[in-house]
């Protein structure tokens, strides 16, 4: 027998009644928005020498820039990698700020309207960036690219929650995390070849991102219907479910028990529902207005969720697991293009293959393996009259506790002592695995534990993790130049161990306290 959670309703607007292909397609096309945004954000990192030569910016002027509203730069004769990195740094800053705007808009006017507007803005800002003739103009364009890219970061996980049953969310979230992280690896890989082999160098890669943004705008328009839906709480008695589960276990039918899961205190009995494909007129409707949503209140209401340890843990887990990879992406070009490596721009881009391998392995582990482990837990606990809870997902985080921190140690000594580039590539692959695997588990855990506040949780997670990434990136070059890679990556190692170790008390005390904060 099948227990589906959340329970599909009889409403024609319920996205859980969409056919499976449409639910998957909706997640993929909206996740591609994150891929394009991150590809545009990270791709420029391999073009540092070209930016230095074209705009002639000095390190002394660049280090005076502390906030985005400070007067930007004046012309100077010399140039530096620190200076040239600024467009990408502010891209991360505005990725955080943009979440404050786009998610309330999605709640008020619909996720579809928010995604379409942000993608149209992203395409426009990419065209501006590619055509920028001054460094100030480029920085302004990069800021707005980050702002536009922010929409998908918080909205897509909520789309996953809208369109997926709980037993499918691990795999669906893995698609999201794979694409959002994969853009930061594919971008430098492709840009490396375009910078080295085209006359427009870095501008060619930005024009490519512009074309991809236009393509994804069309895909979202035709393949993502509005998924906002006010789902009623389940009203079935939990004791009935447990008694039925127990009877099935005693009768030897647990092998047919496919889905027994929950974060609400009750679950429906065996579920049947009719699949419904939305008509074209419904799919293409651009706006779904909700008059009950107050935009100002929606912007500040997520702050209340900082009172929940699970949300705070997810914020720091995502930020700390992201930072080791981000730091290396934006310091890799100066490291590998200098002696003893003397890499070309194309060679630097090829190192991103290690990150792609890490992402793919993490996709399999963070999604499929996580859902498999959860299925095993469901079958093992069925006979003990317990229900699968969000905390059970934390068991899947163990590989991330080993692989990501191991990559930090490897990078500390490989970069610090200029070991063979293959060692750097292996370390890069390990931290890239941690960048996808662990945040996927953390986000899936939080969105399941706080299902009714999932969108608000994701606002906080994405705002604060991007701000933390911005801080690390802002000081990364100076930090590396002053103290070396060993110190920075050993600190990253300790922070990874600390935040991942905090999953243990969350698991223990979360299972003891069965009350779910919805």
Domains of the chain: 15-59+81-229+301-512 (1.20.1250.20)
For residue 451, which of 272, 313, 262, 312 has the smallest C-alpha distance? 262
For residue 450, which of 390, 381, 507 has the smallest C-alpha distance? 390
Cα→Cα distances 129→68, 104, 274, 396, Å: 17, 27, 47, 41
For residue 111, which of 458, 429, 376 has the smallest C-alpha distance? 458
Note down pLDDT in tens along the chain; length 518 residues.
455 667 788 888 889 999 999 999 999 999 999 999 989 888 887 777 777 777 776 433 333 322 333 333 334 433 444 454 555 556 667 777 888 889 889 989 999 999 999 999 999 999 999 998 888 888 888 888 889 998 988 799 889 988 988 778 778 888 887 888 888 888 888 988 898 888 888 899 999 999 999 999 999 999 999 999 887 765 444 444 444 544 554 554 444 434 444 443 444 444 566 788 888 988 899 898 989 888 888 888 888 898 999 999 999 898 899 889 888 887 888 889 889 999 988 898 899 899 999 988 888 776 677 767 767 766 666 555 455 677 878 888 888 889 999 999 999 999 999 999 999 999 999 999 998 889 888 988 888 888 778 778 877 888 888 777 777 767 777 788 888 999 999 999 999 999 999 999 998 887 766 444 33
The helix/strand/coil state of 513 is coil
Q: Where are the alpha helices (DSSP H) in 110-251?
A: 111-131, 135-163, 169-197, 202-223, 238-250
pLDDT per residue as tens digits for the range 418-437 = 999 999 999 999 999 998 88
Cα→Cα distances 66→167, 329, 331, Å: 45, 21, 19
Q: Are 337 and 409 in contact (CB under 8 A)?
A: no
């Amino acid at each position: 027998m099948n227990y589906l959670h959340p329970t599909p309703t009889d409403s024609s607007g319920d996205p859980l009644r969409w056919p499976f292909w449409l639910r998957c397609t909706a997640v993929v096309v909206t996740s591609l928005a994150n891929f394009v945004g991150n590809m545009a954000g990270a791709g420029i990192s391999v073009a540092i020498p070209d930016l230095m030569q074209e705009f002639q910016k000095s390190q002394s002027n660049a280090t005076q820039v502390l906030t985005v509203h400070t007067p930007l730069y004046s012309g100077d004769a010399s140039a530096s990698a620190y200076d040239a990195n600024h467009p990408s740094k502010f891209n991360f800053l505005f990725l955080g700020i943009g979440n404050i705007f786009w998610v309330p808009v999605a709640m008020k006017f619909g996720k579809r309207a928010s995604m379409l507007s942000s993608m149209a803005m992203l395409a426009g800002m990419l065209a501006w960036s590619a055509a920028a003739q001054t460094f100030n103009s480029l920085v302004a364009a990069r800021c707005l690219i980050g702002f536009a890219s922010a929409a998908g970061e918080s909205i897509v996980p909520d789309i996953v929650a809208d369109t997926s049953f709980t037993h499918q969310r691990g795999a669906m979230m893995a698609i999201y995390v794979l694409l959002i992280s994969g853009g930061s690896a594919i971008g430098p890989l492709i840009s490396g070849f375009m910078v080295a082999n085209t006359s427009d160098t870095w501008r060619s890669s930005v024009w490519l991102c512009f074309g991809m943004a236009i393509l994804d705008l069309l895909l979202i328009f035709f393949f993502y219907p509005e998924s906002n839906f006010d789902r009623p709480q389940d009203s079935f008695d939990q004791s009935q479910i447990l008694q039925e589960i127990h009877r099935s276990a005693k009768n030897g039918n647990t092998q047919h028990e496919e889905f027994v899961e929950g974060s609400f205190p009750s679950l429906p009995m065996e579920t049947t529902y009719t699949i419904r494909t939305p008509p074209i007129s419904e799919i293409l409707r651009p706006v779904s207005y909700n008059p009950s949503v107050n935009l100002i209140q929606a912007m500040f209401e997520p702050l209340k969720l900082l009172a929940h340890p699970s949300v705070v843990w997810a914020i720091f887990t995502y930020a700390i697991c992201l930072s080791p990879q981000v730091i290396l992406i934006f310091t890799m070009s100066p490291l590998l293009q200098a002696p003893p490596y003397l890499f070309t721009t194309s060679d630097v881009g090829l190192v991103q293959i290690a990150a792609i391998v890490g992402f793919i392995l993490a996709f399999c582990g963070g999604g499929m393996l996580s859902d498999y482990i959860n299925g095993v837990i469901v079958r093992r606990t069925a006979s003990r009259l317990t229900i699968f809870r969000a905390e059970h997902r934390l068991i899947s985080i163990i590989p991330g506790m080993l692989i990501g921190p191991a990559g930090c140690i490897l990078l500390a000594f490989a970069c610090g002592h200029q070991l063979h580039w293959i060692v750097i590539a292996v370390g890069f692959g390990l931290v890239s695995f941690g960048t996808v695997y662990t945040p996927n588990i953390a986000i899936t855990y939080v969105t399941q534990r706080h299902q009714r506040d999932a969108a608000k949780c994701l606002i906080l997670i994405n705002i604060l993790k991007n701000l933390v990434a911005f801080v690390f990136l802002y000081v990364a070059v100076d930090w590396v130049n002053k103290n070396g890679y060993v110190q920075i990556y050993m600190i990253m190692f300790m922070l990874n161990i600390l935040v991942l170790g905090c999953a243990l008390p969350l698991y223990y005390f979360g299972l003891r306290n069965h009350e779910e904060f919805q």
